[in-house]
Amino acid sequence: MAHRLRKLAATARLSAAQLRHEIGRSVLVIVAIALAVLAVTLLAGLGLGVLETGQDRFDEADQDVWISGGAVELTAGGGMENPIADSHQLAADVEEREDVQSASPIAFHAIYVGTEPEPSELELVSGVGVPGEHGGLTLEEGDGFSEGDVHYGEGDYDGPMTREVIVDPRMAERFDLEVGDTIYVGTSPSTAAEEEFTVVGISSSYSQFLGTTTATMPLSELQEIAGTTGSDRAAFVTATVASGANRGAVSDEIQEAHPEYDVRTSEEQFESMFEDQVLLLASGTALVVLAVVAGVVLTVNLLALVASRQRGELAALRALGLSRWLLTGIIGGQGIVLGLCGGLLGLLATPPAAFALNHLAASLVGFENLLRTPPIVYLAGGAIAVVVGTLGAAVAGWRTSRYARLEHLAE
């Protein structure tokens, strides 16, 4: 046992000595492997973060069933075409069911907002129309809507306009807004100058759900300024099932009653939105594969070059009685050393890289902690480093066995 340990230690020292002679190429390979590991940890962390964040947002919405009429599409004028018409009537029909506790429509529109009426001072954001007083919003500041969606009235849109709006933290920071401030809101720069709203709260609920800057107001008032009161359009009608009811069964029955719409449970709705990102996921996977292949190729090329340039020395060592397996271990061990060094570097670089990307994501799309790195992510990165190093060692060992022959002694 002691003899084997001494041989292993000697092999490790010889491997390290060989790498020191190729310091420049060794550093290049270590960096390549580190990048492969970093690609795996960051993309895996992003995938987990997107899944968990998306599921968290649906859980926070606290809705059991989602009814949609297709994708929310852009209109020729640059607005958003909400696919469900007569949304209040649809919500009322669904709410009449004994197994449904409540149902309500939600609308989205592209709107211009700003603290000054001049068109150059206005910015395009996502407008969200919600029923009730808060529509499931978690307020960070302010008391929210004072009266709810009173403008809808009995369906004639003849109730008073509260002209209240809840903004997200990014908008509040961008325009230096506080509760009680006045902003201009409209679906175009010209109409925004005529519509003044008072900020009654600050909330990141819908901005985190949509991933964009949002201004939230009572649904009927958003429809009023968007000019869709006649068609009563909405993006979704959401429903909360009664206590003890099975959301899957309720969803299926609503689907049978309204075949013209897509009816899904909250889990199914999340999955359908996730499936729309298949191309993005495929691109991320391809990037990981490319990074791993690059690490393997660079490792193999370096070790093959070492073996080729030292074929005379390898043949001499073979002639002195060193076994072919020991010589293979000298070169192959370098692959393992490079893999471990690159893996360690990649894992050490993961936390600061994840922090920087999370900060960027929070500033751009409003999602905090979008990239998450639990222990399993680091295990995956370490496994990639081992795979790259092992493959490099295996190929290098095979190349070494070709060079460790007596006919190369004179070269």
Per-residue tokens: 25? 């190429």
DSSP assignment of 72-92: -EE-TTSSEE-SBSSHHHHHH
Mean model confidence pLDDT for the chain = 78
Nearest to 178 by CA among 190, 167, 194: 167
Tell which residue, 349, 328, 279, has the closest CA to residue 41: 349
For 204, which DSSP code? -
Task: Identify the weakest region by mean pLDDT among 71-75, 95-99, 293-297, 378-382.
Answer: 71-75
Residue 197's closest CA among 166, 175, 173, 171? 166
- Reported as a pLDDT band with limits 50, 70 and 90, residue 76 is very low
pLDDT of residue 34: 85
What are the sequence ranges of the domains in the chain?
Answer: 2-57+278-408, 70-260
Q: Which residue has the higher pLDDT, 140 or 281?
A: 140
Q: Which of 403, 389, 331, 391 is nearest to 14 (CA)?
A: 331
What average pLDDT score do residues 88-109 get? Answer: 90
With bands split at pLDDT 50, 70 and 90, how would you rate the model's confidence at 178?
very high
In terms of average pLDDT, the best of 35-49, 346-360, 380-394 is 346-360
- What's the whole-number mean pLDDT along residues 292-301? 70
Interval 225-232 mean pLDDT: 89
Which residues have C-beta within 8 Å of that of residue 175, sequence separation ≥ 6?
113, 114, 115, 183
Which of 62-71, 294-303, 330-339 is the most confident on average? 62-71
Per-residue pLDDT tens for 117-131? Answer: 898 889 999 899 988
349 three-state secondary structure: helix
Strand partners, 123: 113
Span 191-217, mean pLDDT? 86
Q: What is the mean pLDDT of residues 165-172?
A: 91
Question: In this model, does residue 38 exceed pLDDT 70?
Answer: yes
**pLDDT over 50 (residue 135):** yes
More confident call, 284 vs 182: 182
- Is the overall model pTM greater than 0.75, yes or no? no
What is the reported pLDDT for 72?
57
In this prediction, residue 54 has a pLDDT band, given cuts at 50, 70 and 90, of low
Model confidence at 16: pLDDT above 80 = no
What value does the mean pLDDT take over residues 333-355? 86
**Does the pLDDT at position 277 exceed 60?**
no
| Residue 79 in this model has a pLDDT that exceeds 70 | no
Question: Would you state the pLDDT for residue 388?
Answer: 74
